[in-house]
Every structure is written in C-alpha cells, then in structure tokens.
C-alpha cells in the first residue's frame, strides 16, 4: 500500500471516507467493490483509536437481549459468521464461561437460561461456515462444582453454576481492520494515514464537494474533490460536522463512553475459557486468555470533553481492579500487577438513557442533507461485528446520492485480502512445517496474523538472515518491521509495535527490543539519529502505566 496523498491527491473521487477505523475501512471496502473511486483518509494511523480499544471479541451481543434488541442480536450473530468465513485467520470461535450467582437476579441461571435458548435460536445458521473448524455448538450449563474444578479462581460464595457458550475472538483487531483496508486498495481504493481533514470544499449550491486535508508527514495541505463524503469519525464525528459549518439544523453533540482494559501476567485463568463475571452493581466484565496473559475489561462510563485529550487514568484502572477483586479471584489483583493498559471512546447514538452501560450499541447512518450538508453522510455507533453490514447499508444511501445503481454487495461472499484460506488447520500445519530456519511456533504466529501474506514476510527473512531474529516470546521476527514499512504504510515506531505487530501490545518490551525495531525502521524511513530517539521516547511514554 502507498499513501496516495504523497503522489496524486488531485484525482476526483466518487466517495471520500473520513476515518480509518473499522467502520471507515468497511465502508471504503464496500464502496470499492461496487466499482466506485474511493479515497480513505485517517488523521492518525489506521485503527489507532476506538478500533484498537477492544476486548478482542467478535460477539453476537448476548447482553443486548436484556434491552429487547433482538434485531441487533440477530444481525450481529449473522455477521459474526460472515467474519469467520471471510477472515478465517483473524476470527475464531472461543468458549465463554458465564458465571451465575444468586444475585443479581439478571445473572440468575434460570433467567440467563431463557436468554441462552433465544441466543441459540437466533444463531440458527452458526454451523453454516465455509471451514468446518469454525462451527459453533449450542450452549450448555455446568454445575457449581464443575465450575470450581475448571476455573478455581472463581468466587465460590453464592455461585450456582455457569453457562458455557461460544462467541468469537479476533486475535489481532488492528490487523483485521488493515485487512479491510488492503481489500479496499486491492479493488482500486486509495488510502492515506496521517492525513487530517481540516475543512470541507463547498460547491456553488453549497453542497459538500470534497475536503481540505493536511498531510501530517510533510505539512502540505491539499484539496481533494469527491461527490459524496462519508464521515466515519467515530468519537470525532460531531467535530467533523462542525468543520462543515452547517446552515441547517444545529449539529448534536455525541455522547461518548470510555472503555478501558488492563493486561496482567498474573495467572487468573485456566486458559480454556473466556470467563465472564458480573460486578455487584450488575455490569459484566470479561477475563480473556491472550498470549499467555490475562486481558481484563471493559469499563463503561461517560466521557465529557475533547476526544483528542482522552487518556487512561489511574483512577479508571483502580475502578476496574476494584470490580475484578469484588467479583473474581483472591481479591489481591493490584495496580502493580498491571503490565499494560489501553482505552478508548465509544460514540453512542442513544441519548435517552441516563448512563452509558445500558445504551444501545446499534449504529445509525445519517444523510446530512437534512441538516444543510448535502453531499455528506455520517455514520455513528457500531462495532466490529456489524461493520460490514453497516457499510452495506451505507452504500444504499451513497447510491441514491450518486444517482447510480451500484448492484448487490459481494463482501459477504469473498475472502478479505490475505485471508484466502479454505482450511485453517491445514494451512497452519503447512506453515509450521515450512523449512525456513524459523521456529514452528513463530511460523504459526505469522500464518495466523498475516494469513497468506506470511510467505512475503518469510521471503524477507530468507533474503537477509538477520531479519529472522526473534523479538519476543510469540516468535515475532525483525522481517515484520521491514514488511510493515514497505507494504503496510507504517510511518512511526508506534505504528509498527502497536498495530502492525504485537511487539508493544503486552506492554513495554524493553529498550533493547525497541531500539532494534527503531534502527530497522530508521533505515527504511530514512530517520536521522534525532528522529529515531524521538520515536523511541514517544513509544516509551505511550506504554507507561498512568500514575495519575
């Protein structure tokens, strides 16, 4: 992939998509597959904000049944299956053990049983996967003694049993987003990260006719023309609308919800299950086995202020630790046990509820012509699971605004770029047996996280033996750094260690590893010594556990 803004930003597009998270990536892909000329612009790096701040789950939304959102749950379950099919190396079924206690009532095993039966019924097509290994079984209920035998850290007091059911996990959400972007580019879309929209172009009829965008890599400002602009700014969507200075109805301010996660090396789980528990206040959280660590999340509370100023605080970390200690384990999880933390903001479309936990996770698509901004569409809300379907619905409005028949969507019927794998188990087995001088464990990691593209990474390591050096316990190698820059539009050290690889996503890997990666990146990106040191310092600062 190349940053088109560096070479030819003056082409006129049918659709300009603002925002390189999963929603924007999905819209760009959907539009490109319909034969439209598409430009995707992201002010930071792809999947750096909300789309990176996930629990790494592709779920059907079991708890949405409490709100009566049956249609949303059915859509989520159908799209969960679609993602298993089109992104087989990124989306996996995984068993979840949901604890049942005497209180609160909504976690009572009899109440949950009704929900589980409905959840199974709504996912009636869960076994219609292209690869048999992706098929999801029906739920089952286990007794208290079996729960404590399998997950001994569960609180025993008041425990009545557990429901075991399967949803899906996304082992590397940032790379899943990147796969959508690569797929869009493969169908002719143009993309650029570090391209910040700073204003809009208006035609003689006061329609939105494009964007003014600043290339943050060199400071140049460009005007990019487009017939339809789709605002997928997530938590920034309302601020983007403000830039357009509508002459119609006043732009409403988004409600934003903060969600954080913590990662600890403390052994809390068997590793067999994701464990779901509930706080005394009735909010769910999950403990997720991930890369020999425990990932814990998420929180859900209102955030007021500028989303550019958001950061995880010690207070938020301690609140999550308090929830865990009140509901799980020996009550001794501490701030010192936190190896890494991350958080993000969710845009919420429902404005009637007084707090964010019970707010709907549905998405909405607005034709901003009703607010005096003809030529613009805004997408709000949504999540990974339903992103492809959101894009499909968005293109219906795009087609109307373009005055063109765009044909039927094909994105549910074709693999994402790099994901063309009919039999995942056979693919991984073949990768592990490859004679490349790289360990089988490392080859498996590469195969799962790069799909069919892993061979290109291996080729780099064969051409330069030094690039086969292992950088962490997962088996990631230096060739991935070179590949990230040359093929995946990585432009900063944080792009490489946080979103193209997992080198930094378990916490600070240490100065020696960061410096090795930075030296390689500096050679590829022509950084001088001062720039290299700044990049290292920025990542070290990013990975610090908040102290206030």
CA dihedral angle for residue 232, residue 235, residue 239, residue 240, rounded to 10 degrees: -10
Span 424-542 CATH architecture: Orthogonal Bundle (1.10)
Contact 328, 275 (CB under 8 A): yes
Q: Map out the domains of the chain as residue ranges.
A: 4-50+174-252+362-402, 88-169+255-348, 424-542
State the pLDDT confidence band at 244, using cuts at 50, 70 and 90: confident
State the pLDDT confidence band at 279, using cuts at 50, 70 and 90: confident
Contact 52, 44 (CB under 8 A): no
Which tens digit of pLDDT belongs to each residue from 119-154? 999 999 999 999 999 999 999 999 999 999 999 999
Of 43, 339, 92, 304, give the one whose Cα is nearest residue 195: 43
C-alpha to C-alpha distance for 355 and 1, rounded to whole angstroms: 41
State the pLDDT confidence band at 327, using cuts at 50, 70 and 90: confident
State the pLDDT confidence band at 353, using cuts at 50, 70 and 90: very low
Residue 305 region, left (φ>0) first, then alpha (ψ -120 to 50), else beta? left
Which tens digit of pLDDT belongs to each residue from 46-100? 999 999 999 999 999 998 898 899 999 999 999 999 999 999 999 999 999 999 9
Residue 362 has pLDDT above 80, yes or no: no
Contact 149, 273 (CB under 8 A): no
Task: Specify the pLDDT at position 252.
Answer: 62
**Yes or no: is domain 88-169+255-348 CATH 3.40.50.1220?**
no
Does the predicted model carry a pTM greater than 0.85?
A: yes
**Is residue 481 helix, strand or coil?**
helix
Per the prediction, the chain carries an average pLDDT of: 93
> How buried is residue 413: exposed, middle or buried, by Cβ count under 10 Å (0-12/13-18/19+)?
exposed
What phi and psi, each to the nearest 5 degrees, are found at residue 345?
-115, 135
Which tens digit of pLDDT belongs to each residue from 455-484? 999 999 999 999 999 999 999 999 999 999
Which tens digit of pLDDT belongs to each residue from 281-326? 778 899 999 999 999 999 989 999 999 999 999 999 999 999 999 9
Of 58, 41, 33, give the one whose Cα is nearest residue 392: 33
C-alpha to C-alpha distance for 449 and 26, rounded to whole angstroms: 19
C-alpha to C-alpha distance for 376 and 209, rounded to whole angstroms: 9
Q: State the DSSP H helix or E strand holding residue 112, giving kind and residue range, or none if neither.
A: helix 109-122
Residue 104 has pLDDT above 60, yes or no: yes
Q: Can you name the CATH fold of 4-50+174-252+362-402?
A: FAD/NAD(P)-binding domain (3.50.50)
Please name every residue paired with 507 in a beta bridge, in sequence order, or none if there are none: 505
Q: Where in 179-328 does DSSP place strands (E)?
A: 190-192, 195-202, 208-215, 221-231, 255-264, 274-278, 284-290, 293-297, 301-303
Rg (CA), the chain: 23
Q: Say if residue 298 is preceded by a cis peptide, omega within 30 of 0.
A: yes
Task: Specify the pLDDT at position 357.
Answer: 45
Which tens digit of pLDDT belongs to each residue from 475-522? 999 999 999 999 999 999 999 999 999 999 999 999 999 999 999 999
Task: Specify the pLDDT at position 361.
Answer: 53
């Amino acid at each position: 992939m190349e940053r088109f803004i560096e070479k030819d930003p003056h082409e006129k597009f049918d659709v300009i998509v603002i925002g390189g998270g999963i929603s924007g990536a999905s819209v760009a892909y959907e539009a490109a597959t319909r034969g439209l000329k598409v430009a995707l612009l992201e002010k930071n790096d792809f999947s750096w904000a909300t789309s990176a701040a996930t629990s790494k789950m592709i779920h059907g939304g079991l708890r949405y049944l409490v709100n009566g959102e049956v249609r949303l749950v059915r859509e989520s379950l159908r799209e969960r299956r679609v993602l298993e099919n089109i992104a087989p190396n990124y989306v996996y079924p995984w068993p979840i053990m949901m604890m049942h206690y005497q209180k609160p009532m909504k976690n009572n095993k009899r109440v949950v049983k009704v929900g589980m039966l409905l959840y199974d019924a709504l996912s009636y097509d869960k076994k219609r996967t292209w690869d048999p290994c992706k098929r999801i079984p029906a739920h089952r209920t286990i007794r208290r003694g079996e729960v404590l035998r399998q997950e001994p850290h569960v609180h025993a007091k008041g425990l009545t049993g557990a429901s075991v059911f399967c949803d899906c996990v996304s082992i590397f959400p940032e790379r899943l987003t990147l796969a959508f972007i690569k797929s869009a580019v493969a169908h002719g879309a143009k993309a650029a990260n570090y391209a910040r929209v700073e204003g809009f172009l208006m035609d003689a009829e006061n329609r939105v006719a494009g964007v003014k965008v600043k290339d943050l890599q060199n400071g140049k400002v460009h005007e990019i023309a487009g017939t339809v602009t789709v605002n997928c700014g997530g938590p920034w969507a309302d601020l983007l609308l403000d830039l357009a200075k509508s002459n119609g109805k006043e732009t409403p301010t988004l409600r934003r919800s903060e969600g954080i996660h913590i990662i600890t090396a403390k052994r809390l789980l068997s590793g067999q299950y994701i464990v779901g528990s509930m706080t005394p206040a009735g909010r769910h959280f999950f403990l997720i086995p991930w890369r020999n660590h425990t990932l814990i999340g998420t929180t859900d509370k209102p955030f007021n202020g500028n989303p550019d100023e958001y950061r995880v605080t010690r207070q938020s970390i301690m609140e999550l630790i308090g929830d865990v200690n009140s509901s799980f384990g020996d009550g001794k999880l501490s701030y010192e046990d936190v190896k890494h933390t991350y958080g993000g903001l969710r845009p919420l479309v429902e404005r009637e509820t007084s707090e964010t936990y019970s707010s709907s996770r549905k998405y909405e698509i607005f034709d901003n012509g009703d607010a005096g901004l003809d030529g613009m569409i805004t997408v709000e809300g949504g999540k990974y699971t339903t992103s492809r379907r959101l894009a499909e619905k968005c293109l219906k409005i795009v087609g109307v605004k373009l005055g063109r028949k765009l044909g039927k969507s094909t994105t549910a019927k074709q693999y994402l770029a790099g994901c063309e794998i009919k039999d995942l188990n056979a693919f991984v087995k073949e990768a592990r047996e490859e004679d490349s001088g790289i360990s089988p464990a490392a080859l498996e990691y590469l195969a799962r996280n790069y799909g069919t593209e892993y061979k290109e990474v291996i080729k780099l390591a064969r051409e330069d033996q030094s690039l086969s050096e292992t950088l962490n316990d997962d088996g990631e190698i230096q060739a991935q750094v070179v590949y990230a820059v040359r093929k995946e539009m990585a432009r900063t050290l944080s792009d490489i260690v946080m979103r193209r690889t997992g080198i930094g996503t378990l916490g600070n890997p240490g100065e020696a590893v960061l410096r090795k990666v930075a030296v390689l990146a500096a050679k590829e990106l022509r950084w001088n010594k001062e720039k290299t040191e700044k990049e290292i310092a920025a990542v070290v600062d990013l990975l610090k556990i908040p102290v206030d």
